[in-house]
């Protein structure tokens, strides 16, 4: 092999290796489809068709809007109230999404891929409680406003899942998911 051929072969080998490195790192090959910033996507094996909503579209669903005081307890036992405004997830699923008959599990997924799973029955409930107000009946909502202020997000989505308590003493704040980007139904 001549010196010229050897250099050509080596150059091709280096080029192929660089191309492989770029593809493996994900910066040069097709990557996983990303949810556009600020868009709520509802998808999954138990959804007829994937749908998405902007924040303005969610705010325009007046029949499903909930505004209420939610009592929360965190893992350290800290208790407190916050006033939230948002949309009942059950309303979105009942009115805006075609669910298949086998729908049973709902995953709420945040921008950072943190996720919490619920049964479809839990999402549809309208009777979560507030241990300090026995008359309160609360729903699981996607809030965009807390205590009169718009929720903001450096991560893209301002939506926060908020729910009441399942029973007195229920530590419910760990189930409040911030920066919700996807609802997956299986």
Whether residues 115 and 160 fall in one domain: yes
Whether residues 17 and 96 fall in one domain: no
CB 154, CB 137: distance < 8 Å: no
Whether residues 135 and 73 fall in one domain: yes
Whether residues 94 and 154 fall in one domain: yes
78: CB partners within 8 A, 6+ apart: none
Whether residues 24 and 89 fall in one domain: no
pLDDT tens, 23-35? 555 544 444 455 4
Instruction: Report the C-alpha gap between 115 and 42 in whole angstroms.
Output: 14
Reading the block at residue 129, the tokens are 């409680």
pLDDT tens, 85-128? 999 999 999 999 999 999 999 999 999 999 999 999 999 999 99
Q: Name the residue range of residue 70's domain.
A: 40-185
96: CB partners within 8 A, 6+ apart: 51, 53, 61
Q: How many domains does the chain have?
A: 2
Whether residues 27 and 73 fall in one domain: no
Whether residues 18 and 98 fall in one domain: no
């Amino acid at each position: 092999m001549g010196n010229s051929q050897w250099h050509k072969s080596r150059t091709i080998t280096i080029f192929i290796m660089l191309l492989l490195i770029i593809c493996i790192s994900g910066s040069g090959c097709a990557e996983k489809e990303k949810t556009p910033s600020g868009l709520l996507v509802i998808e999954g094996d138990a959804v007829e068709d994937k749908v998405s909503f902007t924040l303005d579209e969610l705010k325009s669903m007046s029949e499903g809007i909930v505004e209420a005081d939610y009592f929360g307890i965190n893992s350290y036992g800290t208790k407190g109230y916050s006033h939230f405004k948002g949309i009942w997830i059950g309303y979105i699923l009942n009115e805006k999404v075609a669910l298949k008959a086998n729908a049973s599990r709902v995953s709420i997924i945040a921008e950072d891929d943190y996720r919490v799973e619920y049964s479809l029955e839990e999402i549809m409930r309208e009777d979560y409680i507030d241990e300090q107000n026995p008359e309160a009946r609360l729903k699981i909502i996607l809030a965009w406003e807390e205590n009169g202020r718009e929720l903001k997000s450096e991560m893209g989505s301002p939506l926060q899942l908020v729910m009441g308590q399942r029973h007195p003493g229920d530590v419910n704040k760990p189930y409040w998911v911030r920066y919700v980007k996807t609802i997956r139904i299986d």
